[in-house]
A and B are shown apart, each in its own frame.
Chain A
């Protein structure tokens, strides 16, 4: 069974540019989460999808961040325009409904210059 996959593994962009991160969850997992880790600090929750609906987006930093999950399968996280403080590792995770156990991808490292 394939795990959670994320693309790209590393992206280097300049301030003001746009980046789109993609996450493919484990097949059949209704719950999809985005997390971010900045500069070795704690891993912070960004948002949670249940199927295609946003269940909780309380962790999204600001309106420069847009997450979508069309059709309830893969998800994208777009940052537009990117700022220096957006640099970090963006993790995606998925889980079957109600278990509370998350399966993580390897993360997408974003560097904004």
Chain B
């Protein structure tokens, strides 16, 4: 069965520091990949997505992610975090083999140290 693993439950970084959130997927073919963010009191918002083509994708709010087929990874990065980036981040894969059903990882909570 397809699955998404986010090995880090909680990460704390200092404001201005770089960030990398890890995501690994298990899927037979190249899936559609997503990163969503949930800020406190809000719904999930799409940060970026990978369908095909360039393996480095740019998203909103200065985030980027790189698809590495050999490592089955789709890690999220940001060169310099802001206090407003404190939120929970979810990696997801589109199980398009069964009518576009997105499968989510368990999430990584990001805290920002002033």
- A residues bordering B, Cβ < 8 Å? 3-4, 31, 33, 35, 40-45, 48, 50, 55-56, 58-59, 91, 93, 95, 98, 100-107
Q: Which of A42, A50, A104 has the most chain B CB within a 10 Å cutoff? A: A42
Choose one: A42, A56, A102, A107; the contact of B105 (CB below 8 Å): A42
**In the complex, what distance in Å separates the CA atom of A70 from the CA atom of B106?**
32
B98 is contacted by which of A4, A44, A56 (Cβ under 8 Å)?
A56
- A and B contact pairs by CB, cutoff 8 A, 23 listed: A33-B102, A40-B106, A41-B106, A42-B104, A42-B105, A43-B107, A45-B101, A45-B102, A48-B99, A55-B99, A58-B101, A91-B43, A91-B44, A93-B44, A100-B32, A100-B49, A100-B102, A101-B46, A102-B44, A103-B46, A104-B45, A105-B43, A106-B43
- Residues of chain B contacted by A93 (CB below 8 angstroms): 44
A35: which B residues are within 8 A, CB to CB? 104
Known contacts being A42-B106, A43-B90, is A104 close to B44, with CB within 8 Å? yes
Contact of B96 among A58, A100, A102 (CB under 8 A): A100
Give the CA-CA distance A100 to B34 in the complex, in Å. Answer: 10
B41 touches A42 (CB 8 A): no
Question: Could you tell me the distance between the alpha carbons of A100 and B100 in the complex, rounded to whole angstroms?
Answer: 6
Which A residues are in CB contact (< 8 Å) with B49?
Answer: 100-101
Tally B residues with Cβ within 8 Å of A.
25
Chain B residues 37 to 68 lying within 8 A of chain A, measured CB to CB, are: 41-46, 49, 51
Contact present for B99 and A56 (CB under 8 Å): yes
A14 to chain B, nearest CB (A): 26
Contacts of A56 on B, CB cut-off 8 Å?
Answer: 98-99, 101
Pair A48/B43 contact, Cβ less than 8 Å: no
Closest chain-B Cβ to A22's Cβ sits at a distance in Å of: 15
A63 to chain B, nearest CB (A): 20
Across the interface, which residues of B come within 8 angstroms of A3, CB to CB? 43
In the complex, what residue of chain B is closest to A35 when comparing beta carbons? B104
* Bound-complex Cα distance A64 to B6 (A): 31
